[in-house]
Amino acid sequence: MNFDLLAQAQRQSNPAEMVKTIAIFVVFYAIFYVIILRPQKKKVQAHKERVASLVKDDEVILEGGIYGSVKAIEDGVLQVEIAEKTVVKVDQNAVRSVVSEASKK
């Protein structure tokens, strides 16, 4: 029984094993960052820039899938015309994407 405790204590105190374990965690975090976190940050930043650059008469798709045309922008609130003479107010963050000129044709 005492031998098991001694062997366990020796395994825990080995600094080389601890360095290997920390290195594995660092490598996994670096891979996770490169594969998942960095591309997501870029995607979010690009979306923020597109939404911030909206101007009157831009065609947009809202989060609910509704297509509309921006009629006014005031303090983060958009007035979007979704049908003839039907204008709704939505938060600027509710814009999923801006419809490009190429996809309108």
**What pLDDT, on a 0 to 100 scale, did the predictor assign at position 18?**
80
Instruction: Note if the pTM is more than 0.75.
Output: no
**Count of alpha carbons within 13 angstroms of residue 83, beta-carbon side:** 1
If the chain, 105 residues long, is cut into consecutive pieces of 10 residues, what is the mean pLDDT of each piece?
Answer: 59 74 93 93 92 90 93 92 94 88 45
- Give the containing element (helix H, strand E) for 50: helix 38-52
**What pLDDT, on a 0 to 100 scale, did the predictor assign at position 102?**
39
